[in-house]
Amino acid sequence: MSITLTTLKPENYASWASLWKQFITHCEAELPQSQYEDTFKRIVEPDGNLQAHVLVNDTGAVVGLAHYFFHQSVWNPHHVCYLSDLFVDSSLRGKGCGRTLIEATAKSAEEKGCRRLYWAAYHTNTPARRMYDTVADAKCEFVEYRMPLNTEKGH
């Protein structure tokens, strides 16, 4: 079976949504169907603010995904790139697919003029972190904090 790196296309929706749902489930989360549709739209539309690389197999099924976006840094005039989601079908893990997606994202970031690519990982995801340690500097001493905001009240 051959695996091809490509960009996400409108005809990939069902296959992409199926794989992303596996990732969301893996993260012990749930999203409404509307979020799948909105995220996909933001990736495939030319003026969308999200980017993606995907791996597809011989049948055209999406078997790996990397969602990312660019933003400006406040520390310098350059953009940086955040790799938001990285997921590979379980049958293909350990075969270089994740590395391929990271390297493709890094290349896109370099082409955009970004000075850094960064992402977060669950500290318990040892297999992924082992691979990440070979492609990136993990010696960041920052801890990520998340504060839920109540936007329903209009504040």
- Percent of the residues in the chain that have a pLDDT greater than 70, as a whole number: 96
Listed residue (125, 123, 124) closest to 143, CA to CA: 123
Listed residue (116, 127, 120) closest to 143, CA to CA: 120
Helix, strand, coil in percent for the chain, rounding step 5 = 40, 20, 40
Tens-digit pLDDT profile for residues 73-108: 998 899 999 999 999 999 999 999 999 999 999 999
What domains lie within the chain, and their CATH numbers? 4-120 (3.40.630.30)
User: What pLDDT, on the 0 to 100 scale, is given for residue 155?
Assistant: 38
Tell me if 28 sits within 8 A of 16, measured CB to CB.
no
Pairwise CA distance, residues 127 & 155, whole Å = 41
Tens-digit pLDDT profile for residues 122-131: 888 889 889 9
* Residue 149, token pair as written in the block: 């905001």
Q: What is the pTM of this model?
A: 0.89
